[in-house]
Amino acid sequence: MGYWVIMAVIDEVGVRRRLRIMLGSDALVEEYITQNGYRIDVLKIQALRTEHEKPKPLHIEESGPGETAADDPIFSVFLKCPSCYLTSIPSHDLKAKSLQVLTDRFGMPYYRGTGRFKVVDYNLHSVTICPQCLYASPDKRDFIARDPAHAREVPARLHQGELAAILAGADDRATWILNQGLDVQRDLMARDRNPQSGIAAYELAIMRAQIEFDRNVPFSAFKMGGYTLKQATIALVNGLDPLPWYQKAMQHYLTCFERSNAPGFQYDGQILYLVIALGLRLGNLDVSGTYLGVLDRTKARVELANIDAQVQQTFDRWYAQAREIWADRENPDLFASPKA
């Protein structure tokens, strides 16, 4: 079981190093080990940090005096890391119908108020991160959940080989976070992430998907494209230049298409649409024109293939959207943020 070999690598030195990441100071690491030994427990880590921390200013508006818990559009559940088995990892979800969700030309969500709930940019909260090994995903199905009805665990979707490889990359992710000047507990595990830590959270998810891609897991490049579009959206909403992320997203989708990483004509339609739209957004009409030609040839193949009616319908919808955005390419408001 190669998997247990890797687990055993997290020895006292490793525990000390991870505690240093999570606690942020050597003095706190010593205090933690004196109290709890070499066993990592997120709740105890958080308690120790809270004990030693000055209250920090919130990144979003402080709640007004009359506000109740019902006004918070976000609720939390606790999940288990499938990679290192750490438990009690907070994962934030949006309450149904609490905010209005508008989407842009890339299908990215923008959150607007409906009156009763506080407005938050859920894109900053959507990635769940394991603070011990920095395994990250915006999809809860990538974590181990509890099934309350049957009192048993719901396993994560990834296979053991991928999970072991992702665990082995923990130090790379920790180094990357430190190099960004970010602190795991303060910036990434905080209930309210700022734009920089929101973008970093998606970068950790991209690092996970990159390991999946290196092991030929289907849809890994497709996910990297989607995560990168989320980063672009966070940048855009917060007044940063989104173009570097749009550029990266296009590369991921091109790789995805060339390597058939997302098999199925419905995904071909979606990926080609996104490449064409991103080309227009980046002012690269050559790329958009080229892939419109590829889309036309794909359409001819779809018509000959005698495929499932639903797949056909989905492909046709992306095809129509691609034609529409291309026809509208001179419109200066083509990529304006969606309005209610």
Least separation in angstroms between residue 299's CB and Zn ion is 44
Residue 225: CB partners within 8 Å, gap ≥ 6?
249, 252, 253, 256, 271, 274
Cross-strand partners of 129: 136
Nearest in space to 322 (alpha carbons), one of 261, 265, 257, 275: 275
Our CB check for Zn ion shows the closer of 121 and 203 to be: 203
Least separation in angstroms between residue 122's CB and Zn ion is 23
Least separation in angstroms between residue 170's CB and Zn ion is 7
CA distance from start to end of the chain: 54
User: Which phi and psi angles does 137 have, rounded to 5°?
Assistant: -160, 145
Least separation in angstroms between residue 43's CB and Zn ion is 15
CA–CA gap between residue 257 and residue 299 (Å, rounded): 15
User: Which phi and psi angles does 243 have, rounded to 5°?
Assistant: -60, -40
CA–CA gap between residue 278 and residue 287 (Å, rounded): 9
Contact 224, 252 (CB under 8 A): yes
Our CB check for Zn ion shows the closer of 120 and 184 to be: 184
DSSP 8-state symbol, 135: -
**Upper half-sphere CA count for residue 298 (Cβ side, 13 Å):** 23
Our CB check for Zn ion shows the closer of 133 and 271 to be: 133
CA–CA gap between residue 21 and residue 132 (Å, rounded): 8
List contacts with Zn ion (CB under 5 A).
81, 83-84, 86, 130, 132-133, 135
Contact 187, 200 (CB under 8 A): yes
Least separation in angstroms between residue 85's CB and Zn ion is 7
Our CB check for Zn ion shows the closer of 84 and 177 to be: 84
Least separation in angstroms between residue 223's CB and Zn ion is 18
Least separation in angstroms between residue 130's CB and Zn ion is 3
Our CB check for Zn ion shows the closer of 167 and 229 to be: 167
- Which amino acid type is present at position 182? L
Our CB check for Zn ion shows the closer of 135 and 245 to be: 135
Our CB check for Zn ion shows the closer of 82 and 269 to be: 82
